Amino acid sequence: MKKMSIFLVPIILLMAIGYGCSKDHEAPTFSQYENVSEPTDVEATYLKDTDQFKITWSFDDPTDVINYLVSWSDSNLFDDGVTSDQYVIKDLQNEVLKNEIVLEANDVYKGMEYFELPDIDVFLVYFTVAAVFNNEDKGFSYFIGPRAVVDREGTYADSTAVVFKEEE
């Protein structure tokens, strides 16, 4: 009996340590963000006459969307480039949130810190659009959703500017 207790006590002690260590960590979940949707049919067009960019998109269910965020970069690896952005804000008088924005080309370049465009034929600008969600009940407070990239693009290689689809 004495031998058994001598034998069992340390074993029980080690088993207790082992049990304490077996308490596993929980796996991370992304469920909260899985149903956050992104804009679709994003299209960027260069308006040659006015030297502007027009970006349009669609959004299936804009109930929780309070703004849109249009961003642009000089790199196809978006975040690796020099980026800038602008919000499309809801018109408070008419309660309308437009699915388009027209940006001055110069503002776009300056946003990317190009105060003088490089001497090249084609200069690419990469646009993305994201919806800004605000619904406290669903746990979102001005949360910027996934970025949607431009679906269609064209190149304009005529002068100092620009890229994407030229308006016909």
Sites of contact with another protein (CB under 8 A): 3, 6-7, 10-11, 14-15, 17-18, 21-22, 24-28, 30, 32-33, 36, 67, 69, 79, 87, 130, 132, 139-147
138: exposed, middle or buried (C-beta count within 10 Å: 0-12, 13-18, 19+)?
Answer: middle
Closest distance of CB 140 from another protein, Å: 5
Nearer to another protein, 36 or 117 (CB): 36
In angstroms, the CA 70 to CA 83 distance is 11
Q: Are the CB atoms for 44 and 153 separated by under 8 Å?
A: yes
Q: Are the CB atoms for 131 and 97 separated by under 8 Å?
A: no
Nearer to another protein, 22 or 93 (CB): 22
DSSP string, 22-82: T-PPPPP--HHHHT----EEEEEEEETTTTEEEEEEE-S-GGGEEEEEEEEESSSSGGGS-
The DSSP symbol for 125 reads: -
Nearer to another protein, 27 or 120 (CB): 27
Nearer to another protein, 139 or 154 (CB): 139
Closest distance of CB 53 from another protein, Å: 22
Closest distance of CB 22 from another protein, Å: 6
Closest distance of CB 85 from another protein, Å: 10
